[in-house]
Structure 1
Amino acid sequence: RQGNYHQKTMSPSLKWKLVLLNIGGILYFFALSLGSLVIGLLITLPDLYADDPQALFRRRAVGVYVFIILLLNWVCLVYYHKHSRLTSASSLLPKFTAGQGMNEHRSCYDCSIVCPPRTKHCPLCEACVIKRDHHCFFGGCCVGFHNQRYFIVFCFYGAIGALYSTILTFTHLTNHYANPLSYEIYCYLLPWLLYYWVIGQIQMKTVAMVLFGYFCLMTFLACGFYFGFQCFLLTTGQTFHEWTKGNKRYRQPLLDNLRSVFGPWWLLNFIIPMPFLKSPDNGLDWRIAHEE
């Protein structure tokens, strides 16, 4: 079955807003991740483990490891995005048009190319993306067939790192400001916080630490949500767009879905990025699920 589709034209003002979101998302990622590393290594950890050098070393090592793996997966997310971009010059197109099991393809008027199944056009990237899931503003790119594994691991370590920083920050504040797990929790409300700062009861660095803790907590919730939702999509074998449309045409057994995204030995991707573990799928030809 062949069809055509055309992406709705994006207004220049909307596109500029999305471009600014791209820039803001990338800056937020680097600011929070680097800030968490520096604050953890130089402020919160030395304060909490001043009397135990070995524990301090181990916890610093954990923080550095999480930061490195997070950064490596961000780099892979951005780098391998280009492999999911479909262009008229793509050498993959002849394989698609001649491949067995070509079940659905359609033409994209914006790119003037024939697209394989599960391909969607991104107006911000200005390209058709193979097995497009969504546009990630923290990477400034789309999540597709060739970089979905890195996005999932990126969300996992983003949640771990943000939770680690949240715990360290509020434990540090418990010792130097107020206990958030007691009646003193009102001290963390923004009006009270600013009031205490204005009257000189707390210093600006305390206000900054509280705000930093809030950002870490919100980031943990966001990354945890995205990781959980991606795990859900792994079980259903769908992209976000297919899930919203109730499309289950490409649903396969869970292990097949895991191998398709992560390649063989999929758990190794959560230890260190494994770009050489290739998926058994090519992103162009997809098996149709058996009708129930």
Structure 2
Amino acid sequence: MYLKMLKLRLLNAIAPAYFLTATTVTFALQFYFFIPAIFENPDARINSSTLLHGAAFLFLILNALGNYVMTIRFPAASVQDAGPLLCSPLCTDRVDAHYLLNGRHFCKLCKKVILRRDHHCFFTGNCIGNRNMRYFIMFCVYTSTTCLYCLVLGVAYLTVEYSISFENPLTFLTLLPLSVGYFFLGAVPGLQFFVVLMLYVWLGIGLTCAGFCCQQILLVARGQTWCQLRKGQVVQTRGPWRSNLSDVFGRQWVLGLILPVQTVGRLQDHAADKKDS
């Protein structure tokens, strides 16, 4: 039990560092290699294509980072509950059952009683629940979109700089194992090998975030959390799916689609707390 918690705490510290490192590397590759190489114009230092793609990438990555920060800034904790600070092995099941029954759950990593807890996100280092679900969903949307955008530009960069053809669909499937072999044989430059590795990192993160996004939107529309679904608890929907989505995204949801700003006010949070009491 102690070893498992130690592994979870270690993952809780490593995952945010991994995300921020991958973000920094992505930013550097886009502005120092991909965009200048693909859209370089000998007749002008900066052309419209460079500005357009640079602005598009900045919009995507700043929204992803902004919603990431908002997810951390607004932790999902229920201050009304005075839950135990620690869960002993003897009371784990009873505590979980009690708080699940009342729409709450005790997180051992956060050491808090979480209102409408969905899951613990290791990349943000906190739980996803009542106050940060909307930011987490938008974080997944923009992260998956950013990864897809970087994947496309990365493929274009390899085509322009290293004359790698992607006309055959099998090229992408065999690109990584061939690049590993050629790299250790000294036939592939280090930058090319690193870009190939990042292509698969972006693909993995993008698909994972897209899956999380679809799952969370479906659960929110049903008025249910992943924690309740995993425990097999049948939850009666609080209202129509439009009302459930409005509870999470707020009335100014359109603004939240393009800017990482707070769209769910404190009054809505207080009303949601009463519904779950």
TM over 0.5: yes
Picking from 50, 67, 72, the partner of 2:66 is 72
Whole-angstrom distance in 2 between the partners of 1:184 and 1:72: 35
Whole-angstrom distance in 2 between the partners of 1:26 and 1:186: 29
The alpha carbon displacement at 1:246 in A equals 4.7
Matching of residues 1-292 of structure 1 within 5 Å: 11-51=1-41, 53-81=47-75, 84-86=76-78, 90=79, 92=80, 108-110=83-85, 117-175=102-160, 176-182=162-168, 184-185=171-172, 187-190=174-177, 192-244=178-230, 245-275=232-262, 277-278=264-265, 280-282=268-270, 283-286=272-275
The alpha carbon displacement at 1:169 in A equals 0.7
In structure 2, do the counterparts of structure 1 residues 250 and 109 end up closer, same or farther at CA, with 3 Å as the change threshold?
farther
Mapped contact 2:60–2:146 kept (Cα < 8 A): yes
Q: TM-score scaled by structure 2?
A: 0.85
The alpha carbon displacement at 1:277 in A equals 3.6
2:90 aligned residue? none
Secondary structure of the residue aligned to 1:121 is strand
Q: TM-score scaled by structure 1?
A: 0.81
Mapped contact 1:238–1:251 kept (Cα < 8 A): no
Whole-angstrom distance in 2 between the partners of 1:71 and 1:24: 17
Whole-angstrom distance in 2 between the partners of 1:276 and 1:220: 25
What are structure 2's unaligned runs of at least 5 residues? 88-94
Whole-angstrom distance in 1 between the partners of 2:105 and 2:276: 18
Whole-angstrom distance in 2 between the partners of 1:266 and 1:46: 35
Secondary structure of the residue aligned to 2:146 is helix
1:103 aligned residue? none
Letter in 1 for 2:36: P
Whole-angstrom distance in 2 between the partners of 1:208 and 1:77: 30
The alpha carbon displacement at 1:179 in A equals 2.4
Q: Deviations over 1:69-116 (max 9, x none)?
A: 1111111101100xx323xxx4x46xxxxxxxxxxxxx8455699969
The alpha carbon displacement at 1:165 in A equals 0.7
Whole-angstrom distance in 2 between the partners of 1:202 and 1:276: 49
Whole-angstrom distance in 2 between the partners of 1:199 and 1:211: 17
In structure 2, do the counterparts of structure 1 residues 208 and 267 end up closer, same or farther at CA, with 3 Å as the change threshold?
same
In structure 2, do the counterparts of structure 1 residues 276 and 194 end up closer, same or farther at CA, with 3 Å as the change threshold?
closer
Mapped contact 2:72–2:126 kept (Cα < 8 A): yes
Secondary structure of the residue aligned to 1:261 is helix
Q: Say which structure is richer in helix.
A: 2
Letter in 2 for 1:67: I
The alpha carbon displacement at 1:189 in A equals 3.4
Identity, in percent, stands at 25
1:99 aligned residue? none
Query: Which sits farther off after the overlay, 245-254 or 180-189?
Result: 180-189
Whole-angstrom distance in 1 between the partners of 2:73 and 2:122: 15
- Aligned-residue CA RMSD (Å): 2.5
Secondary structure of the residue aligned to 2:274 is coil
Equivalenced residue count is: 258
